[in-house]
Amino acid sequence: MPKLNKQLLFVFVSGLMFSGFCSANGNRPKPSLAADGFPTGLDTPEGAASDLERAYIQRDSNLFAIVCIGLYANHSGPAQYDEFMRETIARLDRESSSKVETPLDPRAINKVFAARHFSREGPASYGYAAFDFRDVVFVDVQVQLRNGKLITNRILVIKTADDQWHAHPAPKVSPLLCFGIDEEKPSQTDFSEAYKIAKQNQPN
């Protein structure tokens, strides 16, 4: 597969910008599962959140550019987000080339929780009014670091007008999109329970 120009790919994905996020007993599609047994792809919020973590784990700037939300403020900003994306793509490329690993690097996904709406209506309402987003949710993903420690990352995930879900890796650049995200209680429902599927190839 030819190597993609990550900067151009990011700009392309930016230009792609509802059916809303259905409830657990609704008609939302079952997520595709990667080899690790966790969701993958842009059809579900859990898939987008998991792929963001995989991009960091694998130091894959192509995957990072694909899974992340594009430049959603008139396709040119916010400026901080544009800068963050370009710096992160460059960093992942450097890390991939260097092969240097540290104990705090992510090693594997350990658990993926079901996507949740915010307790407040603000983020979803703002996203729709300001950027034509079809839904705004968050997904808690537990990751194992190379030192064995487990951490849980809370990922903002957005459904765009093309009915695909994209992760927002720097939500604080748009405070109204993530208002109250750190105040939400820890997730309890595994993604497999929400979709009523059997998980496969779970890590030890």
Residue 203 lies in a domain: no
Residue 191 lies in a domain: yes
Closest by CA to 160, choosing from 138, 141, 132, is 132
Residue 204 lies in a domain: no
Residue 161 lies in a domain: yes
Q: What does the pLDDT look like over 14-48, one tens digit per residue?
A: 443 333 454 433 556 788 999 999 999 999 999 99
**Spatial separation of the C-alpha atoms in residues 105 and 146, rounded to whole Å:** 6
**Spatial separation of the C-alpha atoms in residues 120 and 88, rounded to whole Å:** 30
Structure tokens at 70: 């594009």
Residue 42 lies in a domain: yes
Please give the residue range of the domain that contains residue 108: 6-21+37-195
Residue 31 lies in a domain: no
Q: What does the pLDDT look like over 92-111, one tens digit per residue?
A: 999 999 988 899 999 999 99
The CATH number of whichever domain residue 151 belongs to comes to 3.10.450.50
Angle at which helices 79-98 and 6-14 cross, to 10°: 150
Beta strands in 5-53 (DSSP E): 32-33, 39-40
Q: What is the pTM of this model?
A: 0.83
Residue 28 lies in a domain: no
Residue 201 lies in a domain: no
Q: How many domains does the chain have?
A: 1
